């Protein structure tokens, strides 16, 4: 009798990071977006948030179009019951994050995925956030870090938590449990920015980091 090989539990994730400023050119030309996306944008009162939304959707469509082999305007994006975007026919899972001046997108086939990016900056109440939301290993790493490194450790873990929450579908109230059945990874390619992805797998996470600010994939 021939043994059946276990399914491959490796999650392959393609992660993109782009400066918002590089996506603003031609932002008024939103022909690639759906009518629903245009209505959402029109309803956003804040100009900066509206620009970020438009840029994020244009990047998402551009990345998905390459994967699907179609035009950006033809990417069949629809919405889940909770209002979050998804592909109409499934197959590719994706996640989108808006940071201050940055847009991040992550794609994965067959695994729910999450992405988050945050500028590393002063933040009041870091210790309280660590105590309430961080898992035990993250709390220990934060406590052991020299004071000058605590912001970096904090945002490295915070972006992992946010990405894991998105991938798992949990809320922040369940943040300490968000890594159950979830693998995550971080990238430090941009000084002063924390960037992380997560996928719903207990196997290894293999990430193709694509940082447009350096022009490198790694």
Structure confidence by residue, pLDDT tens digits, 121-150: 999 999 999 999 999 999 999 999 999 999
What do you get for the CA distance between the two ends of the chain, in Å?
Answer: 42
What mean pLDDT is reported for the chain?
A: 88
Q: Summarize the confidence of residues 91-105 as an average pLDDT.
A: 93
Tokens of 118: 């945050």
Under 8 Å between Cβ of 201 and 11: yes
pLDDT of residue 25: 56
Domains identified in the chain and CATH numbers:
11-217 (3.90.470.20)
DSSP-derived pairing of the beta strands 11-19 and 205-211: parallel
Q: Summarize the confidence of residues 98-115 as an average pLDDT.
A: 93
Residue 73: phi, psi to the nearest 5?
A: -70, -15
Residues in the chain: 218
Under 8 Å between Cβ of 196 and 185: yes
Please give the angle made by the CA atoms of 10, 14 and 18, to the nearest 5 degrees.
155
pLDDT of residue 26: 52
pLDDT higher than 90, residue 173? no
Position 28 confidence tier, pLDDT thresholds 50, 70, 90: very low
CA atoms within a 13 Å half-sphere pointing along the CA-CB vector of 135:
14
Q: Summarize the confidence of residues 176-196 as an average pLDDT.
A: 92
Give the chain's largest Cα–Cα span. Answer: 65
Under 8 Å between Cβ of 195 and 117: yes
């Amino acid at each position: 009798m021939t043994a059946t090989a276990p399914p491959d539990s490796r999650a392959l994730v393609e992660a993109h990071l782009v400066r918002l400023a590089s996506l603003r050119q031609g932002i008024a030309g939103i022909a690639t977006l759906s009518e629903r996306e245009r209505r959402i944008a029109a309803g956003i009162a804040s100009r900066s948030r509206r620009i970020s939304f438009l840029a994020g959707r244009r990047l998402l469509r551009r990345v998905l179009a390459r994967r699907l082999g179609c035009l950006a305007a033809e990417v069949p994006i629809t919405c889940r019951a909770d209002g979050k975007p998804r592909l109409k026919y499934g197959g590719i899972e994706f996640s989108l994050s808006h940071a201050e001046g940055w847009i991040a997108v992550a794609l994965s086939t067959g695994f729910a995925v999450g992405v988050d990016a945050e500028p590393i900056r002063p933040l009041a109440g870091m210790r309280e956030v660590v105590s309430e939301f961080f898992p035990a290993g993250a709390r220990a790493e934060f406590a052991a870090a020299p004071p000058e490194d605590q912001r970096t450790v904090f945002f490295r873990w915070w972006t992992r938590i946010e990405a894991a929450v998105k991938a798992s579908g949990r809320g922040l109230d369940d943040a300490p449990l968000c890594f159950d059945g979830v693998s995550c990874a971080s990238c430090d390619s941009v000084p002063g920015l924390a960037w992380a992805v997560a996928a719903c797998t207990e196997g290894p996470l293999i990430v193709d980091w694509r940082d447009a600010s350096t022009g490198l994939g790694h």
